[in-house]
A = this chain, B = another copy of it.
Amino acid sequence: MKLDFVLKGDVLFCTEDREVQTVPDVFLICKNGKCEGVFTDIPEQYKDFPVEDHTGKLIVPGMTDLHVHAPQYTYRGLGMDMELLDWLNENAFPEESRYSDAEYAKKAYAIFTEDLKNSFTTRACIFGTLHREATEILMDQLEETGLITYVGKVNMDRNGSESLSEESAEVSAAETRKWLDDINGRYKRTMPILTPRFIPSCSDELMKEIGKIAEEKGLRVQSHLSENPSEIAWVKELVPASENYGDAYALFNALGDEKHPAVMAHCVYTDEKELAILKAHHTFIAHCPDSNLNIASGIAPVRTFLESGVSIGLGSDVAGGASLSLVQAMVHAIQVSKMYWRHVDQDVKPLQFKDSFYMATLGGGKYFGKTGSFIPGYEFDALVIDDSALRSMRELTLHERAERMIYLSGECSIDAKYVAGKKIL
């Protein structure tokens, strides 16, 4: 299939300096699945490309969800009156244990993958459960959607529940190797990622095994980091040799490097020292504000992260977050940053629209290489958004329309969606 075409519409995208480029009523060119740039007229060499006319609609880069739990999707919006560790034991663990049943997994993951396909997300880093078979079902279904994803079979050999735990580090590592063998070469758009749930769920032995597998097979790691004060204190007890929670992962070679960066969700309580460790390892931070609100975790100092130059994007963290929508995550990121400024540290300025748009698109997109922008040479991930239902009494600039679209996304619709040049909606 030839991935050469032209989209016409009102285009917005972020550049490296986190500024928003707004170019109304233009032609956006995709050649061989890559972006050729934005033009007021179609240049000669693209004259034969088919044109999709989305005049009057917003065209923005596809968005990356750096952290989402597929098996938690079916109970999103429930049990929000609890904090992290209780919430895991009452909600997450009992539900995830059901994925030992392949038929259950098939049905439940079909709901998740269908809704993810219809969302603003074009790329994602996804947690499965500890079950190998269910994780393969999830990967099979995701491959069908046309989305590009990293997916992990979860590792956990301690502090789970009777029905949700692996017997030992050896069993967990062996299952992980078996999973990797099973899926080897099976997918074009779905990649495995090693997924120790978090330090409290993984014994030292297991973490060592994961570090070994990562090195052997050149794989990345995803996990959780510094989400909640009780969790952080617990990690300090569990890995007394670590300087901080981030260092606990580093000790087991689970933070990756420039070529194989890890993604760490939350980092609500990451201080300068931990941040330096993340930067040294080229780790990506997945900022998940909806979840941080719902499970009462706290507010991450995202402005500080952005200024430090650490890699950072957004995560829905369903089901700590109630919605897969990354534009809702954009709003939440701005809102919580205002409360951080007001109530925690008035030297840390609130985020603006452009900062949040950057994280949802280019910031998180970098985890997948050159994605999340319409800079020439970038992979062509795009969303066509119809905002015409938002009635207005005056002409709005393209920037104003985009701002309004994120705050009122429930009244907008996604008309078309492209991932690496492939139209999936």
Residues of A in contact with B (beta carbons under 8 Å apart): 74-81, 98, 104, 107-108, 111, 293-294, 296-299, 322-323, 331, 334-336, 338-344, 350, 352-353, 390-394, 396, 400, 403-408, 410
Contacts and interface: CB of A to CB of B under 8 A. Distances in A.
Given A104-B393, A353-B81, A338 B76 contact: no
Nearest to A410: B410
Given A322-B407, A403-B80, A407-B322, A338 B74 contact: no
Contact of A343 (B77, B98, B111, B298): B298
A297 B342 contact: yes
Contacts of A390: 77
Contacts of A293: 335-336, 338-339
Contacts of A294: 335, 338
A76 B339 contact: no
A336 B338 CA distance: 11
A108 B393 CA distance: 7
A350 to B, nearest CB: 6
A298 B393 contact: no
Nearest to A336: B339
A65 to B, nearest CB: 17
A296 B303 CA distance: 15
A328 to B, nearest CB: 9
A94 B161 CA distance: 59
| A296, A334, A340 interface centre (most CB from chain B within 10 Å) | A296
Nearest to A98: B393
A33 to B, nearest CB: 32
Contact of A299 (B296, B343, B404): B343
A107 B338 CA distance: 34
A74 B342 contact: no
A343 B334 contact: no
A77 B408 contact: yes
A11 to B, nearest CB: 20
A339 to B, nearest CB: 5
Nearest to A334: B80
Contacts of A298: 339, 342-343
A296 B117 CA distance: 34
A104 B403 CA distance: 24
Contacts of A404: 76-78
13 contacts: A74-B394, A76-B408, A77-B403, A81-B350, A104-B393, A111-B391, A293-B338, A294-B335, A294-B338, A322-B331, A322-B408, A336-B339, A343-B343
A75 to B, nearest CB: 8
Contacts of A299: 339, 342-343
A356 to B, nearest CB: 10
A336 B292 CA distance: 11
A122 to B, nearest CB: 20
A52 to B, nearest CB: 27
Given A81-B352, A107-B393, A299-B343, A407 B336 contact: no
B78 A393 contact: no
A108 B392 CA distance: 8
A19 to B, nearest CB: 14
Given A77-B408, A298-B339, 5 more contacts: A77-B403, A77-B406, A80-B334, A296-B350, A336-B339
| A331, A342, A350 interface centre (most CB from chain B within 10 Å) | A342
Given A391-B74, A403-B80, A343 B353 contact: no
Contacts of A336: 293, 339
